[in-house]
A and B are shown apart, each in its own frame.
Chain A
Amino acid sequence: MSDLHQLLGDIRKHLPKEKIAYPQVPTFTKIKDKAVLKQQFIDALALVGGVCHDVSDIAECQQIMRDKLGEVAVICSATAEWEGNKTITDIAHPRDLDDVDLGIIRAEFGVAEMGMVWLTENSLKINSLGFLSQHLAVLLDPDTITENMHTAYQQIDFNASEYGCFVMGPSATADIGATLVRGAQGPRSLTLFFLKTPVPDQ
């Protein structure tokens, strides 16, 4: 059986003599204006089939989802602000979220360049919520939108979670006849609501 010691020995035997220095990578930031970043986020998300709405409260979000999906059977929320009918804290096993029609998550921040949102087990509560749900509703505070992947990685604390995912719209594939299809294995749709993070109760 192989071990680290053997692997390091094998590598050292073959390391190229000429060493290349580690370069400084700029963040390539250009935009300071929050409104511009928000619009860039909206455009990027639209490109990949995600839809954005500006809302003032959860009731508005709920109405929009009802108009979109009709009355769905199972709604599971990872947030305190938007109540569903399946309580995530009662879930014993990740597979038990299989029947979720609409999953609700508050994203930790957004990335303008890509229209991505960052989710971890802190925001998902159970990771499979983000992937077994047939549809996703994502809440995002527009003030948390950062410019690009470089600035995004700067602000993540990789000690704060075991899992983290940049989610960019609904799931997709073009594996059959190079035709783009939305709703491959994961969620069929992603609807994003710009809503400020609620101030926690005292």
Chain B
Amino acid sequence: MKFKRMKINVEKNAAAFIHMDDVHQPTHDKNLWNARMKRDRMAASIPEWEQMRDLASQIKEHALTHLDQYVEQFVMAATKRGTIVHFAKTAEDHNRIIYEILKSHNATKIVKSKSMLQEECEMAPYLESRGIELIETDLGERIQQLSGEMPSHIVMPAIHKTTDDVAELFARTIGTDPNNKDPQELTEAMRNNARPKFLEAHAGLTGANFAVAETGAFVVCTNEGNADLTAAIPPLHIASIGIEKILPKTEDLGLFIRLLSRSALGTPATQYTSHFMGPRENGAELHIVLTDNGRSERLGKAEFWYSLKCIRCGACMNTCPVYRRSSGIAYGATYSGPIGIIIDPTFDDKKYSELPFHSSLCGSCTEVCPVHINIAEQITLWRQHMVRIKASKPSLHYAFNVAGKLFGSPKWFRRAEKLGYYGLKLAPDWLVYNKTLNAWGKNRQMPAIQKETFRDWYIKNRVK
């Protein structure tokens, strides 16, 4: 369960993941680095790759700087096709609208494909507490649903779990043989378990990867075909779409479909790229819940609005050395990894105040992003924000107050160096390497402060 305002201690959670055993973190790191390498191989096979990234970035910036125009065009086009468009300003609006649509159709059994937006709005607990049975159909999301956890990665929700973990989970929840650890057979078991749910569902819920203003259509990309099953069988299809997903024209899709899966998984595309223009024939209904939930406000933040360009590929997570060693669960939020630490503070800058510091600022995220979001730069800007609102670590802030004065004065700096030298020289090892007092010394030998500094040497040897 999620406790609303409890500050997420991401460092502690990450440490727990690392120290869990010597299987989970190394496997997680290896699998995601592999995804990053596959992405690089894809990029190398396309001569126009960098041109594509530049164009995608520009299209997104154009769409966002003209968002009112495209939202209006999208809504008109979709409505003309018979799609019913609803507007949700907040997460609560979003959940309430969906509940009311379901209630008015007597829909209590729902299947859904992956939607980060629905996750973000915490839709599942809202509906479930009102008597709606909700089944995740994306295999990774279903694994997470069965284990009571949030998704760990936006594309591979259960990537932090080993095959053994899933075997144990399925044995416990869907009755498979606990000794069966073959991914093919476990997947087959879930296929058979999920199949009846599609057939008897009253409604299907999806998200959307892209929405096109020109036609009012939206696109859902899956590898399993679960979005298509979700939309093709029940008579009611509800799609949650964030306003930032809107692209101007159909032709833009050519670019984004070519970039998305290559960036995310290092495969040319997903097995299914599904386009929904209007309600299915034969009396089916198609609803869109067009959702703001802080996005319009974020558009107005000069330092942070570029994060709205995000196409949810997860490439930043795959490349992030810190994320790979933490797992997404450590972040305690719908969005984790580099994109998470610049988006989550917009939802709650107290609960997520530690997140922007969970980065070595290596910058790889910025370099890998298919739409050139300046993620690393935004991380630094969020740190400035946290310092301003006094939400950064008090010990660090105190240390910096001291450091600021020391480094601003040559005389005091020299004194600190001498003090450091004698201090470390005289202090016994058990004190220097005390695990509580000295984080450096927990797992590293201390560097040696020199008796003669460079400046001492220079004055002695070079100054007449």
Contact = CB atoms under 8 A, between A and B. Distances in A.
Interface of A: 1-4, 6-8, 10-16, 18-23, 25-28, 44, 47-48, 94-95, 98, 113-114, 116, 121, 126-128, 130-132, 148-150, 152-154, 156, 158-159, 161-179, 181, 183-187
A31 B159 CA distance: 38
30 contacts: A1-B87, A1-B97, A3-B87, A4-B71, A7-B71, A8-B71, A11-B67, A15-B66, A15-B300, A20-B61, A20-B65, A22-B248, A95-B200, A98-B195, A113-B258, A116-B269, A128-B232, A132-B229, A153-B254, A154-B251, A158-B217, A163-B231, A171-B223, A171-B272, A175-B140, A175-B156, A177-B166, A177-B183, A178-B156, A186-B228
B271 A162 contact: no
B376 interface: no
B228 A127 contact: yes
Contacts of A132: 229, 233
A133 to B, nearest CB: 10
A153 B399 CA distance: 58
Nearest to B142: A175
B366 interface: no
A176 B280 contact: no
Given A127-B231, A168-B269, A185-B224, 6 more contacts: A22-B59, A150-B255, A153-B251, A153-B253, A166-B269, A175-B138
Tell me if A's interface is mostly helix, strand, loop or mixed: loop
Interface in B274-295: 274-281, 286, 290, 292
B158 interface: yes
A186 B272 contact: yes
B374 interface: no
A24 to B, nearest CB: 9
| Nearest 4 interchain pairs by C-beta | A186-B225, A14-B300, A177-B163, A175-B140
B267 interface: yes
Interface string B46-88: 0010000001001101101111100110010000010001011
Contact of B296 (A14, A130, A176): A14
Nearest to A126: B232
B304 to A, nearest CB: 11
Interface in B211-232: 215, 217, 223-226, 228-229, 231-232
Interface residues of B, number: 94
Contacts of B9: none
B152 to A, nearest CB: 11
B110 interface: no
Interface stretch (B185-193, B378-386, B409-417): B185-193
A23 B58 contact: yes
A44 B271 CA distance: 12
B72 A184 contact: no
B297 interface: yes
Given A23-B58, A25-B252, A172 B228 contact: no
Contacts of A44: 268
Contact of B271 (A3, A16, A171): A171
B321 to A, nearest CB: 18
B143 to A, nearest CB: 7
A162 B191 contact: no
A175 B232 contact: no
B187 A184 contact: yes
Given A7-B71, A131-B232, A184-B191, A121 B199 contact: no
